[in-house]
Structure 1
Amino acid sequence: MLEPIILASQSPRRRQLLEWAEIDFDVVVPVTDESYPDGLPPEEVPVYIARQKALAVQDQLNNNPTIPGLDIDPTERSAFVAGIRRRTILAADTVVVLGNEIIGKPRDRDDAIAILTRLSGREHQVITGVCCRRASAEVTFADVTRVQFHALTPGQIAFYVDKYRPYDKAGAYAIQEWIGVVGIKSVNGDFYNVMGLPVSRAVRALAGM
């Protein structure tokens, strides 16, 4: 079994995936704007952002470790903090790419409908960048899954957006929700990568740290 880690994400889906993998973790939400340099190829963008998240959390732990569990006996606090700082940080970022364009999170209902209308009947890529970092040691990688939607009707798209409100999701959808069950024709690659984390590959990377 792996040692406990720090998950640099507030995503409930990534938390769920790590729980399914039976990995113990504490969550530290990174403070970063998730921007990236102009001209960076789409496949490199999520790796760049994931690394910035890991570095932000590492800096936070080194300078102001405020995470769940620190409300403990003061005599045990130093040892607890030292142990937390020795943990491996796992950060990830997921983007949806249509053609060569990164499709981000929708701004509002109209934008979500517009995004899903563009994805309807077409294949797109879901790319998750992962960064595992402990002290100065680091492993990064990107995992790519190709997803093909059936042609979706305007009624289906509106129903999904209004009921599930996918405004916090890249590409305006979550594969584990209704639209994934009825609207996706094929998935070529890691299904869990589309949920936000290629778990098996991440586990292997963590084991090698």
Structure 2
Amino acid sequence: MGIPFSIKTLDTDESFPEDLDKSLVAGFLAKKKAMALQVLLDEHDLLITADTTVIVNECILNKPADEEQARAMLEQIQGRSHKVVTAVCITEGSHTTVFSDTTQVSFSALDSTEISHYIQSSRPFDKAGAYGIQDWIGLIGIESINGSYYTVMGLPIHRLYAHLKSNFSIEY
């Protein structure tokens, strides 16, 4: 977006209450990340955190811990549609705003060779649902999306920009 920024990271527990509505989990986690990172901020810093969830049949597919979990997730999403919800939390001082964006993603059927190739070549262990839309598997496997490509990538830039533009003074 042409706005100067810096990146700060901190390992954060990504657990959430099991009874939380699945569409609200990404927002819960984005806010949890913001609360953890506030200790690293200066007084006038603007903090933007995000989290992405993949939802299939009301089940959240988190980041896979290993190849077996990645394979199981990819087998679960291939040949069907699922929802991707990315939430953004913007924090300035004691004021926090959370919003989310949802995109429907439809995958074509994938065979076991394609799934194995993707897991070996892309190592999808840092991605919700075990895939990146921008990766090889997205190029060959995604039939359609209804919503924002950037929401699936993990940051709905169009929504973030609109929020920053209407609520903050943007300097390029």
Question: Are 1:47 and 1:140, in contact at CA under 8 Å, matched by a contact in 2?
Answer: yes
Task: Tell me, in whole angstroms, the C-alpha distance in 2 between the residues paired with 1:87 and 1:157.
Answer: 42
Structure 1 unmatched runs, 5+:
1-20, 62-83
Instruction: State which of 119, 125, 130 in structure 2 corresponds to 1:172.
Output: 130
Counterpart amino acid of residue 33 in structure 1: D
Counterpart of 1:97 in 2: which secondary structure?
strand
Runs (4 or more) in structure 1 with deviation over 6 Å come to none
Instruction: State which of 29, 34, 50 in structure 1 corresponds to 2:14.
Output: 34
Instruction: State which of 25, 35, 39 in structure 2 corresponds to 1:45.
Output: 25
Does residue 190 of the first structure (1) align with residue 162 of the second (2)? Answer: no
Task: Tell me, in whole angstroms, the C-alpha distance in 2 between the residues paired with 1:185 and 1:31.
Answer: 34
Counterpart of 2:72 in 1: which secondary structure?
helix
Partner residue in 1 for 2:96: 138
Counterpart of 1:25 in 2: which secondary structure?
coil
Task: Tell me, in whole angstroms, the C-alpha distance in 1 between the residues paired with 2:16 and 2:105.
Answer: 24
Partner residue in 1 for 2:114: 156
Change (3 A) 1:107 1:32: closer
Counterpart of 1:151 in 2: which secondary structure?
coil
Task: Tell me, in whole angstroms, the C-alpha distance in 1 between the residues paired with 2:26 and 2:85.
Answer: 7
Does residue 90 of the first structure (1) align with residue 48 of the second (2)? Answer: yes
- Cα deviation, residue 136, structure 1: 1.8
1:106-157 residue CA offsets vs partner (Å, 9 max, x unmatched): 1211211111111110100110111001012222111100000001111111
CA RMSD of aligned residues (A): 1.2
Counterpart amino acid of residue 187 in structure 1: I
1:145-189 residue CA offsets vs partner (Å, 9 max, x unmatched): 000000111111111111111111110110001111111000100
Task: Tell me, in whole angstroms, the C-alpha distance in 2 between the residues paired with 1:150 and 1:194.
Answer: 17
- Cα deviation, residue 31, structure 1: 4.2
Does residue 25 of the first structure (1) align with residue 25 of the second (2)? Answer: no
Worse-superposed segment, 142-151 or 33-42: 33-42
Task: Tell me, in whole angstroms, the C-alpha distance in 1 between the residues paired with 2:71 and 2:83.
Answer: 19
Task: Tell me, in whole angstroms, the C-alpha distance in 1 between the residues paired with 2:87 and 2:10.
Answer: 15
Partner residue in 1 for 2:84: 126
Counterpart of 1:197 in 2: which secondary structure?
coil
Task: Tell me, in whole angstroms, the C-alpha distance in 2 between the residues paired with 1:137 and 1:194.
Answer: 27
Given the two structures, how large is their TM-score scaled by the length of structure 2?
0.92
Counterpart amino acid of residue 4 in structure 2: D
Counterpart amino acid of residue 33 in structure 2: K
Of structures 1 and 2, the larger Rg is shown by 1
Question: Are 1:31 and 1:57, in contact at CA under 8 Å, matched by a contact in 2?
Answer: no
Question: Are 1:88 and 1:206, in contact at CA under 8 Å, matched by a contact in 2?
Answer: no
Q: How many residues align?
A: 167
Counterpart amino acid of residue 35 in structure 1: S
Counterpart of 1:53 in 2: which secondary structure?
helix
Given the two structures, how large is their TM-score scaled by the length of structure 1?
0.76
Counterpart of 1:168 in 2: which secondary structure?
coil
Between the aligned residues of both structures, percent identity stands at: 41
